[in-house]
Amino acid sequence: MIENVHVAPVTGPEIPSGYIRIEGDRIAALGAGPAPAAPGATRIDGSGCLATPGLVNTHHHLYQWASQGLAQDATLFEWLVSLYPVWAAMDAEVVKGAAAAGLGWLALSGCTTSSDHHYLFPKGRGDLFAAGIEAAREIGVRFHPARGSMDLGESKGGLPPDVVVEELDEVLAATAEAVDAHHDPSFSSMLRVAVGPCSPFSASAELMTESAALARSKGVRLHTHIAETLDEEEHCLERFGTRPVDYVEKLGWLGPDVWFAHTVHLSDADIGKLAATGTGSAHCPSSNGRLGAGIARVSEMLRRGMNVGLGVDGSASSELTPLAGEMRQALLFQRARYGPGALTARQALELATLGGARNLGRADELGSLEPGKLADVVLWPVGSFAAAVADPVCALVFGPAPPPALVLVGGRTVVAGGELKTVSQDAAGRAGAAARRRLVRLAEERGVRPARHVHEDFTA
């Protein structure tokens, strides 16, 4: 029983002082005023706290925790070309350490469910997909890994070097195997697998089409990168004669079971297609800013009925980005582009919660505080410095979000008092640093030097 707390349920009216009753892994009740009698219940005093649904991260590449701070001044394509050879050296140990640190970091910013898009599987380097899953199980957050893939190497006109891509048949077999081995469709699932060919410039049309068919035959969701940069748009126009959204539409990639990362460069017609088909977007403002990709038209997308969630994106393009901070980044980007009415604090909170749950196909289970939904709840301390802000939701979104006082996943404590409780926080941080050292060593053994800068004028 969480009592004396300001509840922002996201759906339904806010409760300035109320309670949330949790039974098992579900929310049993919430309401205004003092908590009702509940003999035997554990009581948590939420005084000075704002309760929100757990935040949902809908785009990430956890392995990138091990390659942060590189290619600091690069465009997306320069950044990828600089990093592919480094990533080619990764193994399961790198992925495990990177995922432990990355997911621990997310939990510390109020994330209770995270997706992961892993699309590089160098041969003979262990079970990379299972390594991320193991880390998620230890941290205790709900996990939605996409079995990603690339089959369009340089020799076939793609961007990645041939050494990091797979053959079409290998990908489909490994993806089917990943779904069969790990996917849990149940209501309170801690793990659901998606299918995720990487992008139009690294996955062939055949891979996109076959992936969609496979995902639909297995009843799992589809995820990829679309319309991230103008370079990608140019690439699509040159190679396919169409813009990115029109291209993937032809491949069967629009629908309520699809969510795209980025969607920065959408035309009016693109937005109309995504809205009409129920295709979702994972908005990653910090990454888009870091790579100079542009500002997505989020407030227009919302106005036209598109679903939008948030994502931190891989840490190599948004170093140490906390998920809660993406609410602020999204709000500021939209207002800088469209004016102060473009996105409210409560809309930003909805992107991070219910918008994310919709992207992952879990709006019935997650994303709002309602009786019957899963007890993924975050208490944000807004009673100290932040108490000077008139409105706790404004304090959370406009300000830098404070470390959570409590993070519950299905009623289980993952973070308390701003510290990880499921694993040693120090150990998770050290595992991430060790993963970086190991990746650098493995890359250097292959003659690859990870570069901090790709433009000489930035190196001083």
Binding site for Zn ion (CB under 5 A): 261, 313
Q: Name the residue among 105, 190, 135, 111 with its Cα closest to residue 377.
A: 111
The answer to whether residues 107 and 429 touch, using CB atoms and an 8 Å cutoff, is: no
Nearer to Zn ion, 8 or 352 (CB): 352
Give SS3 for 381.
strand
The answer to whether residues 166 and 151 touch, using CB atoms and an 8 Å cutoff, is: yes
Nearer to Zn ion, 199 or 368 (CB): 199
Helix axes 230-240, 76-87, angle to 10 degrees: 90
> What minimum distance in Å lies between the beta carbon of 238 and Zn ion?
22
Phi, psi of 241 (to 5 degrees): 70, 15
- Taking the C-alpha atoms of residue 431 and residue 317, their distance in angstroms, rounded to an integer, is 20
Nearer to Zn ion, 148 or 367 (CB): 148
Nearer to Zn ion, 140 or 145 (CB): 145
Nearer to Zn ion, 119 or 333 (CB): 119
> What minimum distance in Å lies between the beta carbon of 225 and Zn ion?
5
Nearer to Zn ion, 26 or 290 (CB): 290
> What minimum distance in Å lies between the beta carbon of 284 and Zn ion?
7
**What is the DSSP code (8-state) at residue 456?**
G
> Would you tell me how many other CB atoms lie within 10 Å of the CB of residue 76?
25
> What minimum distance in Å lies between the beta carbon of 143 and Zn ion?
17
**CB contact set of 124 (below 8 Å; sequence gap of 6+):** none
> What minimum distance in Å lies between the beta carbon of 179 and Zn ion?
21
The answer to whether residues 417 and 49 touch, using CB atoms and an 8 Å cutoff, is: no
**CB contact set of 180 (below 8 Å; sequence gap of 6+):** 218
Nearer to Zn ion, 20 or 310 (CB): 310
> What minimum distance in Å lies between the beta carbon of 198 and Zn ion?
8
Give SS3 for 143.
strand
How would you label 207-246 residue by residue, b for 16+ Cβ within 10 Å and e otherwise? bbebbbebbeebebbbbbbbbbbebbbebbeeebeebbbb
> What minimum distance in Å lies between the beta carbon of 155 and Zn ion?
24
